[in-house]
Structure 1
């Protein structure tokens, strides 16, 4: 806080408290010429009279005591601008102290799960409940309370993983985050194939995602394949299966994070997409990240009934 703001706070606080003192003093005395308390000339229903009597002295003294307490409070806890107060107390120090206590409590709660593999934690009901709670507090904002995602946010309950669904890959995603970038290809494609180039690529992408459909019977898709092979194949692969190493999605399944309508695909191709999964290593720490990763992994890898262990499912 700057010096000018500090003095502003000091003057404002002192003005309010001293103003209350003056107001109480000014209104607590009767002066020559004041009408008697019963001579207000305010009557209702002929026999109801309004009086103007001063407050009882004990009540006024109570106000003065409250004001004195206010001055003492500001001097003790430091309410005068940058003045730290006689007690040395600060909300920041109290928060840090409370945080230290609760961090120790949390550390004790999570200690049994330190360093445990994700698939092992996924078989522990207590660990899963902890992971579910962490997910609800941290991840549900984007992925939804049911973890089924939304437009632009992936569904975590299916078996489709753009960055890999193995336990260690899911943990890496939670700890260090992911950044998926789909470049803007509108101008490049238009320069290669004319004004309808984007529509050609959209047609081919739709063919990739439709089992049994061939480009041989679709002129636009056939033109789009040529453009796809020249631009898109580097990330999405020759067969459109994608590349988990760079987060390039599989174009042959029926899952579209941004929608599969022509308008949505056009926006994706022309303007690109930039999706960011924030890193949670510093926010949650490694153990809590393991617990929430185990919960997320368990959503698409439920343990078999009666199984005592779990075998990680191969990343799709």
Structure 2
């Protein structure tokens, strides 16, 4: 808080406290010349009279106690401009202290799973249950509460298709350090190679990789094959099997991260895609990321885990 704002707050608080105290003193007693309590001339319905009497003494005492409490509060806690208070209390310090206590409780609860592989942790029903809670709080926003993902770039975690590898260490790496998948926009390049219909031709050929029968007597797809082999094989391979080391999807299965419609495939080729899985190690720490990884493993390998999900 700047000095100017601090002075403003101090003046405002002092004015309010002094003003309330002065008002109480002014109204506490009757003065010579004041009309009698019954001389207000305010009468309704013939017998309902408004009186003008001082507040009861016990009520006045409560008001004074409130003022004294307020002054004491401002002495003990910060609230009087830049004055930090005798206690030096801050909300940040209280938060840090409480967080330290909570972290100690969390560390104790997760200690049995420290350094364990996620497939081994997944055999413990208690760990899987804790992992499910962590997943719901941190992962369900993108992957859904059931882990089935969505066709706008969020992978299904319940199947056996893994863009970056499905080994326990691969899954843990994805959770802890995140992933960044980049599909380069090829629209301009392909148009220069094969004209206005080039993107449509490559899209047609990509469809045949998961269903080779579509390639028969398919002129558009056959045109796209040559361009695919000239541009796309670097990442997806000649057979379209992809490359998990760089997150290039397998185009021969029936899993489509951004949808399997012709429009969706064409959009991917034309304008590219940019998918980001944020790193969760800084947020959750090593052990909790392992436990949530165990839950992910359990929903994709139900026969190998505790099945407690």
Give the TM-score, by structure 2 length.
0.88
| Structure 2 Cα separation of the partners of residues 263 and 42 of structure 1 | 81
Aligned CA distance change for structure 1 residues 135 and 305 (closer, same or farther; 3 Å): closer
**Once structures 1 and 2 are overlaid, which stretch shifts more, 53-62 or 64-73?**
53-62
Cα deviation per residue 1:18-37 (whole Å; 9 max; x = unaligned)? 34334444555667887655
Shift of 1:152: 2.2
Write out aligned runs for 1:186-265 (5 A). Answer: 186-209=187-210, 211-265=211-265
Q: In structure 2, what is the equivalent of residue 312 of structure 1?
A: none
Secondary structure at the residue paired with 1:181?
Answer: strand
Write out aligned runs for 1:11-50 (5 A). Answer: 11-28=11-28, 37-38=37-38, 44-50=44-50
Shift of 1:176: 0.8
Aligned CA distance change for structure 1 residues 259 and 21 (closer, same or farther; 3 Å): farther
Shift of 1:5: 3.3
Q: CA RMSD in A?
A: 2.6
Shift of 1:241: 1.6
Q: In structure 1, what is the equivalent of residue 110 of structure 2?
A: 110
CA contact (8 A) 1:123 1:303 kept: no
| Structure 2 Cα separation of the partners of residues 212 and 15 of structure 1 | 84
Does 2:73 match 1:73?
yes
CA contact (8 A) 1:187 1:270 kept: yes
| Structure 2 Cα separation of the partners of residues 198 and 124 of structure 1 | 49
Q: In structure 1, what is the equivalent of residue 124 of structure 2?
A: 124
| Structure 2 Cα separation of the partners of residues 249 and 121 of structure 1 | 28
| Structure 1 Cα separation of the partners of residues 256 and 68 of structure 2 | 67
| Structure 2 Cα separation of the partners of residues 35 and 263 of structure 1 | 88
Q: In structure 1, what is the equivalent of residue 289 of structure 2?
A: 289
Aligned CA distance change for structure 1 residues 6 and 255 (closer, same or farther; 3 Å): farther
Cα deviation per residue 1:276-295 (whole Å; 9 max; x = unaligned)? 11111121111111111111
- Total equivalences in the alignment: 306
CA contact (8 A) 1:204 1:215 kept: yes
| Structure 2 Cα separation of the partners of residues 101 and 122 of structure 1 | 27
Give the TM-score, by structure 1 length.
0.86
Unaligned runs of 5+ in 1: 308-316
Aligned CA distance change for structure 1 residues 230 and 3 (closer, same or farther; 3 Å): farther
| Structure 1 Cα separation of the partners of residues 306 and 65 of structure 2 | 71
| Structure 1 Cα separation of the partners of residues 78 and 247 of structure 2 | 53
Unaligned runs of 5+ in 2: none
Cα deviation per residue 1:91-127 (whole Å; 9 max; x = unaligned)? 2222222222222222221111111121111111111
Aligned CA distance change for structure 1 residues 306 and 159 (closer, same or farther; 3 Å): closer
Shift of 1:173: 0.8
| Structure 2 Cα separation of the partners of residues 175 and 258 of structure 1 | 24
Aligned CA distance change for structure 1 residues 221 and 26 (closer, same or farther; 3 Å): farther
